[in-house]
């Protein structure tokens, strides 16, 4: 007989371990945000005024993802904390300033401990007398992005009013160390801007140097590339102090929005970007058209867990839904403002959810693909979801380069490539072979009716997720059987079917268990084109140039556009107008 008591204890221990790990998850705070912003300036020296534990944790975290930097610490002892740490800070500051070559800038970032004790950090800086020193005191209880904003605002103090502006130059505000994929996004946005003759004067702050920050006012325009996260308040202060206008209305994510973003900047500088946009359109639109077969054929659904990067949550959700036709089963964001914007394309928005709340949504909605961070990946693998893309921090074990942006035109290509490859590859893996080999009895006996029901359930699961879904259900059934000290019964199969299957499949599964016949796998989406408005022959001919699978969606989108514009009849001119405004021409 199987050792059910030992197995039960093992299952209990594993469940306890998983629960402990979930409670230990740390959400980045204002202190990380300020520190990462400061560390983004390559030739600055940063002092983290903190106990050694805080310093070591932050140093190791940053080194795992970013380039070498100079980070110092006051290594506060318990005595320092209790009696005041100004003397310790003064000693470290003097040593840092004395180290050759002399630093162009020293940035002091305070830790939560220092903010609680209320050290006179500014008084220490004044006593030492060095002018090239900036103090950043992140707010206790503040968010990651509030810390970034605080640091950016404090750095304005070293900026010098421009004697002379750089011709057609902009600043990119927002990228910092440990912003997901910031290097690749900046690389792509710089490429796009250079193609229409616009220079990037400074990046605040990822990859910049002290002189870049000092000379930031030489730019004619500030661009907030992560407006749902940070940068707008900084841009507003710079506009008031230096007279530099800013733009933060469009997110360069997806084809249409990337084109609109670039056009807005080109219009500001009176630059004609039409030739360049046509060139990009030819390759990107063809890729989008070829990808549309996926969401139409497989009814692709995606869950976005991006609550540390609201700009990505807003931009990627709009792109996946509006341009690729994918369904959004759930989107997790970090702020109410981002949540309201995402609600335009998704009815299931979670604001700052716990990892357990996300897990419940993954189970209930059963998305074909999940985009998120390292913790989301762990949960996805535990639940049997193979299609996963990193799109948020933390990203343990993930290597990012300039070659894989999510923003701009190359970002469109990269997102389509990664999404398509995930779905196609795992589709081939899942459909290799039948399900007859999936049920391995092992040590736990199955009742005959339970095994027959399990096979029937397998027959009604879409085959592109069949193997993964059945492994998950079998694992849960075995865990319950071990806990109960029994074999796998019909009641257990019914329980796991009710609790661990996506809502959209639940009624079909339960019907099978109740004896109903559900042999139908679902008809593929119709490719029949239905016209609900009057079209002229030339307009129809234009639609017929698109792949057959895409034509129904193209007709529907064009008619929706025509109704919004008040057109009664669709001509080829209306079709072309819609394509232009959608960034497809």
Q: What are the pLDDT digits (tens) for 81-132?
A: 777 789 999 999 999 999 989 899 999 999 888 888 888 999 999 999 888 8
Residue 131 tokens read as 């002018």
pLDDT at residue 380, rounded to an integer: 87
pLDDT of residue 460: 67
Note the pTM of the prediction, 2 decimals. 0.73
Contact predicate 30/110, CB 8 Å: no
Show the CA angle centred on residue 473, arms to residues 471 and 477, nearest 5°: 115
- Can you list the residues of the chain whose pLDDT is less than 70? 1-25, 55-68, 288-299, 397-398, 400, 425-442, 460-469, 500-527, 547-550, 580-585
Query: What is the end-to-end Cα distance of the chain in Å, rounded?
Result: 69
Q: Strand locations in 363-430, DSSP E?
A: 369-372, 388-390
* Cα 194 to Cα 439: distance, rounded to the nearest angstrom: 57
pLDDT computed for residue 433 by the predictor: 42
**CA–CA separation, 482 and 14 (whole Å):** 13
- Record the tokens describing residue 494, joined without a space: 């019914």
Burial of 133 (0-12, 13-18, 19+ CB in 10 A): buried
Say what the pLDDT of residue 95 is: 93
């Amino acid at each position: 007989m199987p050792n059910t008591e030992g197995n039960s204890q093992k299952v209990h221990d594993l469940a306890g371990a998983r629960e402990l790990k979930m409670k230990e998850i740390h959400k980045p705070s204002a202190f990380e945000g300020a520190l990462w912003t400061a560390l983004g300036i390559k030739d600055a020296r940063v002092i983290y005024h903190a106990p050694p534990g805080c310093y070591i944790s932050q140093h190791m975290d940053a080194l795992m993802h970013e380039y070498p930097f100079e980070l110092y610490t006051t290594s506060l002892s318990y005595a320092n904390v209790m009696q005041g740490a100004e003397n310790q800070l003064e000693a470290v500051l003097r040593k840092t300033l004395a180290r050759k070559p002399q630093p162009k800038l020293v940035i002091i970032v305070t830790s939560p401990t220092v903010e609680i004790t209320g050290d006179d950090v500014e008084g220490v800086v004044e006593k030492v007398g060095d002018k090239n020193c900036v103090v950043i005191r992140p707010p206790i209880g503040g968010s990651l992005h509030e810390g970034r904003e605080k640091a950016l605002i404090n750095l304005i103090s070293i900026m010098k009013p421009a004697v002379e502006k750089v011709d057609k130059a902009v600043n990119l505000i927002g990228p910092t160390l440990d912003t997901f994929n910031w290097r690749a996004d900046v690389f792509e946005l710089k490429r796009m801007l250079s193609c229409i003759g616009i220079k990037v004067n400074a990046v605040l702050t990822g990859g910049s140097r002290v002189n870049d920050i000092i000379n930031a006012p030489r730019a004619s325009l500030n661009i907030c590339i992560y407006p749902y996260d940070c940068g707008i308040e900084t841009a507003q202060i710079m506009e008031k102090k230096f007279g530099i206008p800013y733009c933060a209305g469009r997110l360069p994510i997806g084809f249409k929005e990337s084109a609109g973003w670039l056009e807005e900047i080109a219009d500001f500088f009176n630059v004609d970007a039409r030739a360049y946009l046509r060139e990009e359109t030819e390759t990107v639109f063809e890729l989008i058209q070829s990808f549309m077969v996926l969401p139409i054929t497989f009814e692709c659904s995606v869950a976005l867990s991006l609550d540390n990067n609201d700009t990505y949550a807003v931009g990627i959700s709009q792109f996946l839904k509006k341009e690729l036709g994918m369904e959004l089963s759930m989107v997790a964001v970090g702020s109410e403002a981002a949540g309201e914007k995402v609600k335009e394309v998704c009815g299931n928005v979670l604001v700052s959810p716990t990892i357990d709340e996300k897990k419940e949504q993954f189970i209930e909605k059963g998305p074909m693909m999940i985009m998120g961070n390292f913790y989301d990946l762990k949960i996805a693998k535990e639940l049997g979801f193979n299609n996963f893309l990193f799109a948020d921090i933390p990203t343990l074990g993930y290597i990012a380069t300039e070659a894989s942006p999510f923003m701009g035109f190359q970002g469109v290509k990269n997102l389509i490539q990664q999404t398509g490859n995930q779905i196609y590859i795992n589709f081939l893996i899942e459909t290799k072979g039948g399900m007859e080999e999936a049920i391995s009895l092992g040590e736990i006996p199955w009742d005959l009716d339970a095994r027959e029901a399990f096979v029937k359930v397998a027959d009604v699961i879409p085959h592109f997720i069949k193997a993964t879904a059945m492994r998950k259900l079998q694992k849960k059934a075995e865990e319950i059987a071990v806990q109960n000290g029994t074999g796998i019964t019909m009641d257990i199969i019914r329980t796991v079917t009710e609790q661990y299957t996506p809502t959209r499949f639940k009624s079909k599964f339960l019907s099978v268990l109740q004896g109903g016949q559900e042999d139908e796998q679902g008809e593929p989406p119709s490719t029949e084109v239905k016209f609900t408005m009057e079209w002229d022959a030339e307009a129809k001919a234009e639609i017929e140039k698109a792949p057959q699978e895409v034509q129904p969606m193209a007709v529907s989108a064009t008619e929706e556009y025509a109704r919004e514009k008040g057109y009664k009849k669709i001509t080829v001119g209306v079709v072309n107008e819609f394509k232009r405004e959608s960034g497809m021409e």
